[in-house]
Amino acid sequence: MNRGMLWFDKNPQTSIIQKVEIAIEYYTRKYGTKPTLCLASSKQLKTSCKISDTTWLQPYKSIPNWHFWIGQQDKS
């Protein structure tokens, strides 16, 4: 993913899944399309999972804790 939206959420009351669901809603409203990929800190997320009908959540070592890189997966 070369372009996307960086989302930050350190709220201790919500799970990583809830944080990403909120980010997906915001992204969809802002850009008019649903994201297909969300990258999260590999320190906070150990395995990939499908979070919605269109979006995969994956761990990535370069993402800081509490940050989420959300956007469209490259078509390569």
- Three-class DSSP labels, the chain: CCCCEEEECCCCCCCHHHHHHHHHHHHHHHHCCCCCEEEEECCCCCCCEECCCCCEEEEECCCCCCEEEEECCCCC
Q: So what's the pLDDT on residue 76?
A: 63
> Residue 12's CB: how many other CB atoms inside 10 A?
4
Q: What is the pLDDT of residue 1?
A: 81
What digits encode the pLDDT tens for the residues 19-31?
A: 999 999 999 999 9
Which segments of the chain have a pLDDT < 50?
Answer: none
Determine the pLDDT at residue 74: 82
Q: For residue 22, what pLDDT is reported? A: 97
Q: Are 22 and 38 in contact (CB under 8 A)?
A: no
